[in-house]
Chains A and B, each alone.
Chain A
Amino acid sequence: MADHDVPQSKSRDLDKLLLRHGNLVDPGFFPGPQLRNDIREFVKILVVGAGGLGCELLKDLALSGFRNLDVIDMDRIEVTNLNRQFLFRLEDVGKPKAEVAAKRVMERVSGVEIVPHFSRIEDKEVDFYNDFNIIALGLDSMEARKYINGIACGFLEYNEDDAPVRDTIKPMVDGGTEGFKGHARVIMPGVTPCFECTIWLFPPQVKFPLCTLAETPRNAAHCIEYAHLIKWDEVHKGRSFDPDVPEHMKWVYDEAIRRAELFGIPGVTYSLTQGVVKNIIPAIASTNAIISAACALETLKIVSACSKTLTNYLTYNGGEGLYTKVTDFPRLDDCLVCGPGILIELDTSITLSKFIEMLEDHPKLLLSKASVTYGESNLYMQAPPVLEEMLRENLSKPLYDLMGRVQKDTIHVTGTSLKDKEKQSIQTKLRVVFKGADVVTDMDTAIGA
C-alpha cells in the first residue's frame, strides 16, 4: 500500500466517521475535528453494570472516542464471572467489579477517565443520573431496568403542545443477553418506547403451582423448589435463605435429593439445584460482545449523529443459524413513565400540604414523604432540615398559587414508594390540571385516573 506521510493519530479509524461528510447520517451531523474533540472533552457516559455487558461496554466506549465514563455496580467479582467478564482475573475475586473494571480499562487505554461507583443504583441521588449525556445499560434484571428507566424518563418534560422538550430527553441504550440470545435497543424518552411501554416483551418468570410442589412433584426442579421455598421455612423458622451461602445451598440440595428419592424422581444434581434456586442464566462471552458492541455503536451514533440510529429494537439469536431483526416498536401515548405524566385534577384551593397527603393514597403512586418541585423551584423538600424549614411555610399555601396560577403544568414529586414490600426512592412527574375557581369540585374526582 502507498505510504502517506501523515502524522499518526490514535483516532485514525474513528476520524473517517467523525471528520468526513456522510450521506446516510442523522440530521444534526456536523463532521469535523470539533465534533471529535467535543466528544472527548465534554460527553459523559454512564455504564450501568460492570458484568458481562458492562466490561464490554467500557472497552467499546473507551475505543470509540469517549474519554469520560462512569460505571456503577454493587457486586463483587466471582469465579463464575471469569468466562466472559474479561477485565477480571482470578486474583480479583471478591473485589468490587466497578473498581477493577475501571482500573483495567484505564490501564490499557490511555487518556480515558473512568469513575467507578461501588454502590446500588438506588443509592444514587436522582441528580447523579442527569449528569450524563447517555446512560448505557448492561443489566440482568427487569427491576433494575425499570428503575433506571423511571429515573431517565423522569427528566423528560413536555411543552404545551404535548411534545417532548429536546433538552430534557435522556437517551438510554439497553442490552440484554441469555445464552445465544440477546437484544439491543435505543430508548429516547418521549420519542421511542421506554422500558415500561414495552413491558409486555418480557415473559413472566416460570413459577410452579404450590400444589405441584407440595403434593405432586414430577421432576427434579419441583423437588428443588420444594426444598427451597417450602421446606426451608418449615425447618429454619425466621432465618432467610441466602443462595450465596454454600451451607444453605447444600441444605437445599440434600433436601431435594431426599424428596426426589421419596417420589422416585431422577435428575437432581448440585448444578441443577444452583441453577433453579439462583435462576442462573447461562452466559458466554460472544453474545455479550455482540450486544454490547451494538449498544456502544448506537451510543456513538446518538452522540455524534454520524450515522442513522437503530430504530429502535434489535433482536438477536445466534443458536439456530444467525438471526437478527430490527423492530420499530411504537410508544404508548399514555405510558405512565415516559408519557406526559399521571393526570391529577385539583381544585385551586388545595394546599400543598393536602396535596402531599393525597399522593400517599393515590393508587398509582402510594408515595409517602414526598418532596415537590416545580420547574426550577423547590416547593417543599423533606430534607435537608435547613431546606425543609425554609420551605415549610409553603405547605399551607394553595398549590395553584405556588405554581403561578397556571391552569395546567408538570410538576415532579420525589418520595418513597412501597413497591413489592420494598421501599424505593422514586421520582415521578405529574400533570396537574386545576379546575376553575368558580366550579364546585367534587372531592371524589379530584384524584385523577
Chain B
Amino acid sequence: MKRLEQEPTMAEEPKKTKYDRQLRIWGELGQTALETASICLLDCGPTGSEALKNLVLGGIGSITIVDGSKVQIGDLGNNFMVDAKSVGQSKAKCVCGFLQELNDAVKANFIEENPDTLILKDPSFFSQFTLVVATQLVEDSMVKLDRICREANVMLVFARSYGLTGFVRISVKEHTAIESKPDHSLDDLRLNNPWPELKRFVETIDLNVVEPAAHKHIPYIVILVKVAEEWAQTHNSNLPSTREEKNEFKALVKSKMLSPDEDNYREATEAAFKVFAPRGFSQDTQDIINDSCAEVGPNSSDFWVMVAALKEFISNEGGGEVPLEGSIPDMTSSTEHYINLQNIYYSKAEADFLSMEQRVKNILLRVGQDPSSISKPTIKSFCKNARKLKVCRYRMIEDEFRTPSVALHKCLADEEYRSAIGFYILLRAVDRFAATYQKFPGQFDDGLMDHDVAQLKTIALSLLSEMGCDGYMLQDELYNEMCRFGAAELHVVAAFIGGITSQEMIKLITKQFVPMSGTYIFNGIDHKSQSLTL
C-alpha cells in the first residue's frame, strides 16, 4: 500500500484511531487539552465513578480519587467500579484500579481520605488540579470548597445523586469559549454590505447570459448582490425594509428565473432574507466588547486582549462589522464561479485577520505583555468565531444561597419549573436535616418516616423564608418522595448525572462548545429536568 504523505492510514497511529470518533467533535486541540488536564474527584460512589469513567475513556491526562470509605455490600448494587472481592477494602483504591483498566494512557491515583476532612485540613491540596469534581458533598463542604477553588483559580463542578433527583452545578469565576460551535449559525455572506472585491467580481458576471447551463449555474450570492444593487438604485440606495418591500424584492429575484429547474434561483429566493438582515453583529457579541474586562491591562487573559483588538477593529477598518468569517455554504454553481467566490471570501477573511493580528500585537505591547504570546492560529480562530464568542460567569455557591436572585420567585410561580425548584429546595433541606439529626430523612427503616417528613417540611419552609419566599408551598408529594428516596444513590441516576457532569467537564477543559449555565436539576420522575440560574 502506498504510504500517504499527510494523512495516516488506519494501520498507523492506533491512538489516533481509538479516539477517532471524538476527534471528529473536538479535534486535536481539544484532545490535547483533555490529555494535559488533571482532575480531582471527591467521593467515588457511582456518581463520581461514572463521571470519571467517561473522562478516562476519552483520554483525560490524570485522575486523583479522594474517598476515605471502605467498600460495603450495598455498593456492589450500585457501582460498576467495585466488585465482590473489593468488599472491606478502600473504595478509592478499587475504583481507581478498575478505571485504570479502561485506559492505559491515563495516570490514575487515589488518596484514602474523607473529602470533608481534606477540605478542612488541607485546602492547598486542590491548587494542583485543572478541575475538581466534587460529588455527594453536603452544603457546608460545598461552600468551603467553592471558596478554596475560587481563590486558587481551579475549575469546580458539583454533582449530586439523590434518589430520583440530583443536580449538577459548575462554579467558575469566568469561562470563555472561542469555539462555541453552535448548532445553527448564520453564514457570514455580507449580502447586505458587500465589500469592493466582491462587488467587482459580481460585476464580471452577466445574469442575462443566454446559454441555459450558464444561466442556472450562477451562484445565488452573485444573484442577490446584483439584485440588491438593482433595487438600491431605484430605492434611494436603501435595502428593503418593510414587509411589502421584502416581498417585492423576493419577487424581483424570482422574476429573473427562466425555468423552474433553476435551483440557483430557487436558492436565491430562499436566501433573499439575508439581504435585508441588519448589518453588524449579535447582542451577545456586543455585550462582550462592552464588558469591563475588555479594558485590558497587564494581567488580562489572551481572550480579553483579542476582544480589545476586536473592539478597535470594529470601530475602524471593520466599519461596524467583525472580521469576515471567510467560508461560504455550498450552493448550486459552476465549479469555477464557486471557487472564485470562495477565494474572494477567503482573501477578505485573511486581510481582516492580518489587521486583527497587528492590533493584538500592539495591545500586548501597550499593556506590557509579550507581543508574540498569542499565536497566529489562536487569533485566526478568534476571528473566524468572532460572532460566536461566549463568556460564562458563575456565582459562588454561598452567594446563591444567601442572596437568591429574582429568578427564584419566578421559578416558584411557574408551573414548568415547579418540580425542579421543589427539588432544588429539598436537596438543600436534606443537608440541613442531616446536620441536625445525623442522618438523612428516611435514610433508615427506623419507623420514623412520618417524623422525618414533618421535619423536612419544617426545614424546607424555613429555608424558603430565609430566601425571601414566604408563602410559597412545595407540593406535599415531593416531601414524601424525598423521604422515600432516603439518600439512595441509584446507579441509573448516578450514571445520568455522571454523564452530564463529564460532558460539562469536557466543555470546560477543551473550551469548546458552551457549558451549561446555573444549576441543572434532574427530575427522574417525569424527566422534566430544568436548568435554574439563581
Contact = CB atoms under 8 A, between A and B. Distances in A.
Interface string A357-389: 000000000000000000000000000000000
Contact of B526 (A14, A16, A109, A311): A311
B8 A293 contact: no
A13 interface: yes
B335 interface: yes
Interface stretch (A82-90, A348-356, A428-436): A82-90
A310 B496 CA distance: 15
B127 interface: no
Residues of B in contact with A, size category: 35 or more
A286 B53 CA distance: 9
Given A285-B57, A287-B499, A322-B516, A10 B24 contact: no
Interface in B1-24: 1-2, 4, 6-11, 14, 17-24
B503 A318 contact: yes
Contacts of B77: 9-14, 63
A319 B439 CA distance: 38
A426 to B, nearest CB: 33
Interface string A310-337: 1100100111111010100000000000
B430 to A, nearest CB: 13
Nearest to B50: A289
A117 B176 CA distance: 48
Nearest to B494: A293
Interface in A1-54: 1-2, 4, 6, 8-14, 16-17, 20-24
A384 to B, nearest CB: 43
A1 B438 contact: yes
Interface string B148-183: 000000000000000110000000000000001111
A83 B22 contact: yes
B495 A60 contact: yes
A293 B495 CA distance: 6
B54 A80 contact: no
A301 B2 CA distance: 56
Contacts of B499: 286-290, 293
Interface of B: 1-2, 4, 6-11, 14, 17-25, 46, 50, 53-54, 57-59, 72-74, 76-80, 83-84, 101-102, 163-164, 180-183, 217, 330-335, 338-339, 434, 438-439, 442-446, 476-477, 480-481, 484-486, 488-493, 495-496, 498-500, 502-504, 506, 513-517, 520, 524-529, 531
18 contacts: A2-B438, A8-B74, A9-B77, A10-B73, A10-B77, A60-B495, A80-B21, A109-B80, A110-B83, A216-B334, A218-B338, A247-B1, A254-B2, A271-B24, A280-B24, A286-B506, A290-B495, A294-B496
Q: Closest 4 interchain pairs by CB?
A: A12-B74, A289-B499, A270-B7, A290-B499
Given A2-B444, A59-B80, 20 more contacts: A11-B74, A12-B73, A22-B484, A23-B480, A64-B491, A79-B17, A80-B20, A80-B21, A82-B18, A84-B22, A109-B76, A216-B334, A254-B2, A264-B339, A289-B495, A293-B499, A308-B526, A320-B514, A322-B520, A324-B529
